[in-house]
């Protein structure tokens, strides 16, 4: 295997995920620069001397960043999108927002998988998916960004990886509610399995591959996010089960909970395409304060009996 070269990497976003990725790659010997909204104007002049831009901002900030950077973007500069969610305004993923802003010929890739930032910061091992339509770019990123504690696998389905990574946050909120109500292992296993069926609808509906669900960006990400208190979405669900309102739970967590906006965006897509997303529906009803946690459970258990299908 060819030795990795030193890259000049610009990380956009100084939240937990951006700091963690930057720290990992800096430890590997790469030259790291970062930008956060508190820093003021975007570092557009830095783009010329950069080998890779990594976007680790919340979904809410992607569209604006793409628009601001587009006039200054070098045509050969690759971007690695690490944001998870669906934009409520355009009902698109992060890489689709970047492609719309930078142009369809932009060199884009996606990073997704079971990525609890705290564990990676502690030096615990993890594996993730690098997804890109350009196989050469994907191999290049894999070669230079894989490290001792973060093993990266190549994939050719960026949209599928993003769709799975987005909706698993909604399912993780539901898992937190399930555990918070002490409903037991049977109930939680049932929730996660039916959650996979809803994830499958979104993945295939957005043009992704259904097989993507069975990898790190699908089941892998769901298992980590729906079972750990390190997950903001899971903790958010726990707090809802305790009787806190969505606003109170958000204030307690004091960080972005992407599953909140994703639930609404997924249901908007569902209305457009005729998809049935009952878990998303109940999670959103809870977030909006229209029902209580145990009412949501009763609504899911009392649905019409049907055959089991993944899609």
Query: For residue 45, how many other CB atoms are within 10 A of its CB?
Result: 9
For β-strands 126-131 and 108-112, DSSP reports them as antiparallel
Closest listed residue to residue 213, CA positions, set 279, 310, 289: 310
136 burial level (CB within 10 Å; 0-12, 13-18, 19+) = exposed
Query: Contact at 8 Å (CB) between 246 and 240?
Result: yes
Catalytic residues: 168
CA 75, CA 1: separation in Å to the nearest integer?
A: 28
Query: Contact at 8 Å (CB) between 163 and 213?
Result: no
Query: Contact at 8 Å (CB) between 226 and 192?
Result: yes
């Amino acid at each position: 295997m060819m030795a990795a070269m030193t890259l000049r990497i610009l990380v956009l976003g100084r939240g937990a995920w951006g700091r963690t990725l930057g720290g990992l790659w800096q430890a590997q010997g790469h030259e790291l620069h970062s930008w956060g909204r508190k820093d003021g104007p975007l570092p557009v002049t830095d783009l010329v001397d950069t080998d890779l831009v990594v976007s680790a901002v919340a979904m809410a900030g992607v569209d604006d960043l793409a628009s601001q950077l587009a006039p200054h973007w070098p045509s050969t500069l690759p971007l690695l999108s690490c944001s998870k969610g669906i934009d409520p305004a355009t009902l698109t993923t992060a890489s689709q927002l970047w492609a719309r802003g930078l142009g369809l010929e932009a060199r884009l890739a996606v990073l997704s998988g079971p990525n609890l930032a705290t564990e990676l910061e502690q030096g615990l091992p993890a594996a993730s998916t690098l997804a890109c339509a350009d196989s050469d770019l994907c191999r290049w990123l894999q070669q230079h960004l894989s490290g001792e504690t973060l093993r990266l696998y190549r994939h050719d389905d960026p949209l599928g990886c993003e769709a799975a990574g987005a909706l698993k946050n909604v399912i993780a909120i539901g898992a937190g509610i399930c555990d918070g109500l002490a409903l037991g292992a049977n109930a939680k296993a049932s929730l996660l399995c039916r959650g996979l069926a809803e994830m499958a609808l979104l993945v295939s509906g957005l043009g992704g591959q259904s097989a993507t669900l069975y990898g790190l960006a699908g089941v892998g990400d769901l298992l980590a996010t729906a079972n750990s208190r390190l997950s903001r979405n899971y903790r958010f669900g726990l707090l809802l089960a305790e009787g806190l309102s969505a606003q109170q739970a958000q204030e307690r967590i004091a960080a972005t909970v992407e599953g909140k906006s994703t639930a609404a965006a997924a249901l908007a897509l569902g209305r457009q395409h005729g998809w049935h997303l009952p878990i998303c529906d109940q999670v959103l009803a809870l977030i909006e304060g229209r029902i209580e946690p145990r009412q949501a459970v009763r609504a899911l258990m009392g649905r019409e009996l049907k055959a089991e299908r993944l899609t």
